[in-house]
Amino acid sequence: MGPMRKNTLVPSLLLLGVLSLTTACTPDSEVSTASVDTGAGPSAASGVERTVDPTKIEGLDIVNDSGNGPSCPWATSYPAVPGAEPMTAAMKSDVERRLRAYVDDGCGSGNELDFNIGFDFLVASGDVVGVRLTTQDPGAAGDGTETKTYWYGGEDAQPHDALGLIAEASRPDFLSVVRERLEGREGVDTAILGAALSGPQAQQDLLDDMSVTRDGALRIDFDRSTVGVPAGGRYQVILPPAEVAPWLSGFGRRVQEQAVSPGGTLDLGAPTAEEPEPAPEASAPGADTTDCSKVKCIAMTFDDGPAVPETATLLEYLAEYDARATFFVVGQNAAAHPDVLRAEVEAGHEVGNHSWNHPDLTQLSTAEVTSQLDRTSAAIKAATGDEPTLFRPPYGAIDDAVKSATTLSPVLWDVDPEDWKYRDTERVAQTVIAQAGANDVVLLHDIHPTSVAAVPEILRTLTAQGFHFVTVSHLRATL
């Protein structure tokens, strides 16, 4: 989250910007690109991928991690789908490799820009699942944005790279058409393009982001600098359904079928999972009558969730002490686990906005900031029935441009035990206890089991010292 910030309780009413789409994690939308070739037809020209409801994926887990140091901020997330373990392993390996390279290279050469990996589901029904990871790496070539798709088929129980959507025997014809559609477009360098298509491995590396649109067209996205000069931007080729149909592999045909007419469930042939633990049924404790102008109050806040099962365990700990807290949730996690958000609200806690996929908002355009926050607020409202009023900027990074992009009131913190850095339960607990003061806001993360495990000792000790645990909004309202 960055260095400790003070003056956390000064609310501000800010101007709402216009909803737009971010570069990363933009389902049901066309990736921003400098040049699009659609082949033919207005339907193919849309390039729109079908939105996938993550709550329909039984047993879905979102793997999150972050490093919030001011000189090396980063956040990563990817989905773990039961039955698609080899695909999950491939994503895990790539995420860890890329993060390690970023850190080893000096965290973007010390420019203090954040490294971020987020995801979108492309298909998740029938026997196929597809995921796009979007990486923002300030130390990478081009604009630092790279995308890659991962595929898995339950019928053959195999992971597939993007080129696996095309039958091997059809690849020469397919590659010839792709090259034809790219050559002659402004900014495309024929020498770069030729080298990028020079052999099987080069082809696999270049054609690593392929998906099927909702009308059955094949969409191919190229990162900046991979087929042309950097100024040319990102390129996209969209091949209409009739043109691409003869080239698809058996797996590719199944992907196309589910992209156009998705089935109701995802069946990867995995053994039936055990019934998941239900979200805790916490009865609402009623209105909080604590007067923070007369007693010692403290606001515990938890970022980056909800996480399963960590957040449910945390709710049980809080209930034991009648403690209220504020949860600043990441949108892609909230969309996957709306039942946990409902449990938070039913237990008397507050839910705030922590962006869709944890980027440094100060590095985004106004439209991108608005999209990050609006998408998350929409996920919160869908789960709880109410829109949030508070947001916490990832890494505590905020400026006038971010403030002007939303009406949400920003919340920073007073106490930061750096639990993202020190995965040590006792150290986290003792740091919070030692630094806690009246009316402070404490920063923790419910994605880390070690942080959740520190909460009982924090609650027990601070309660004995006369502290009352309230939400951020209650603290502000009663001072």
User: Phi and psi of 9, rounded to 5°?
Assistant: -100, 15
Q: Read out DSSP for 334-349?
A: HHH-HHHHHHHHHTT-
Task: Quote the CA–CA distance of 34 and 322 in Å, as a whole number.
Answer: 54
Handedness of CA 126, 128, 131, 132 (dihedral sign): negative
Q: Supply the residues annotated as catalytic.
A: 303, 445
Which tokens in the block code for residue 158?
């195999």
Neighbours of 291 (CB within 10 A): 12
Q: Which residues contact 330 (CB under 8 A, 6 or more apart)?
A: 64, 77, 304, 305, 354, 355, 356, 357, 358, 376
CB burial string 219-249: b at 16+ within 10 A, e below: bbbbbbbbbbeeebbbbbbbbbbebbeebbb
Q: Is residue 14 within 8 Å of residue 407, measured between CB atoms?
A: yes
Q: Is residue 166 within 8 Å of residue 208, measured between CB atoms?
A: no
Task: Quote the CA–CA distance of 473 and 386 in Å, as a whole number.
Answer: 15
Which tokens in the block code for residue 463?
């309660």
Residue matched to tokens 């998350």: 376
Q: What pairs with residue 134 in β-bridges?
A: 118, 147
Helix pair 310-320, 338-346: axis angle to 10 deg = 10
Task: Quote the CA–CA distance of 24 and 357 in Å, as a whole number.
Answer: 8
